[in-house]
């Protein structure tokens, strides 16, 4: 499970419980930027970290959210996953024109932002989750986000793909995620009223996780 920008493996806590209950061994590590100079961290640095996590695995299920979805797509070229789950994914090259592209500063400040900003981002979360996330966000490398925003070339996955979409995603337009699903002939789960991080941190995160587990069970049973 690969998290998005400014976050960590903690974003998948609700999902880990649901997957573990279904018998999956779950790995949700933190992507580690260069602590001394975050702005020197590159997309390739994160990719190497994910390679180190996934190379020892055989036909894993790979989950990626937002920025982590692009990393998941690149890893899928290497490790032959049995299934791929993309959550409100930042799109690969070819679909980025559908985004309102922006240029990020060298360091994107997430850490220390007021709780009210987290509450706006997590419009479908509870107060406890908002308070926790506010203390756990970390700063992110603008170089990484600029690379992802411009578009990273990625092969079309050869395994079954599920794309999870929040209808109130303000970071990646739901129409862009639907276009990606059509391109990949992927299955889609759309959740009304759900934010960009709502599938992981919203009040219905457990519902989403169990639904994804159900999809995976069907995929694995049929393959």
Q: What is the mean pLDDT of the chain?
A: 94
As a dihedral over the C-alpha atoms of residue 54, residue 11, residue 198, residue 133, rounded to 10 degrees, the angle is -150
- Distance (Å, rounded) from C-alpha 66 to C-alpha 55? 22
Q: What is the DSSP string of 124-186?
A: TS-HHHHHHHHHH---EEHHHHHHHHH----PPPSS-EEEEEETT-SSS-HHHHHHHHHHHT-
- Reported as a single tens digit per residue, the pLDDT across 131-153 is 999 999 999 999 999 999 999 99
| pTM attached to this predicted model | 0.95
Q: For position 98, what pLDDT does the model report?
A: 54
pLDDT (mean) for 76-102: 86
At 36 the pLDDT is 82
- Fold held by 9-222: Rossmann fold (3.40.50)
Token code pair at residue 211: 């639904």
Q: What is the mean pLDDT of residues 200-212?
A: 98
* Domain parsing of the chain, residue ranges: 9-222
Average pLDDT over residues 70-86: 97
- Tens of pLDDT, residue by residue over 145-183, are 999 999 999 999 999 999 999 999 999 999 999 999 999
């Amino acid at each position: 499970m690969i998290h998005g920008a400014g976050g960590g493996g903690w974003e998948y806590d609700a999902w880990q419980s649901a997957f573990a209950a279904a018998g999956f061994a779950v790995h949700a590590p933190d992507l580690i930027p260069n602590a001394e100079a975050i702005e020197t961290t590159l997309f390739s640095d994160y990719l190497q970290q994910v390679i180190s996590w996934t190379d020892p695995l055989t036909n894993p299920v790979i989950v990626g959210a937002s920025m982590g979805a692009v990393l998941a797509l690149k890893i899928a070229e290497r490790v032959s996953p049995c299934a791929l789950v993309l959550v409100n994914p930042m799109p690969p090259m070819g679909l980025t024109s559908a985004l309102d592209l922006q240029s990020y500063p060298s360091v994107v400040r997430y850490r220390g932002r007021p709780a009210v900003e987290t509450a706006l981002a997590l419009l479908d979360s509870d107060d406890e989750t908002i308070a926790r996330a506010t203390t756990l966000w970390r700063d992110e490398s603008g170089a990484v986000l600029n690379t992802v925003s411009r578009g990273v070339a990625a092969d079309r996955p050869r395994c079954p793909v599920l794309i999870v979409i929040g209808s109130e995603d303000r970071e990646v337009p739901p129409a862009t995620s639907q276009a990606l699903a059509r391109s990949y002939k992927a299955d889609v789960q759309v959740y009304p009223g759900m934010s960009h991080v709502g599938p992981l941190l919203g009040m219905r995160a457990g519902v989403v996780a169990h639904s994804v587990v159900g999809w995976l069970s069907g995929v694995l049973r049929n393959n």
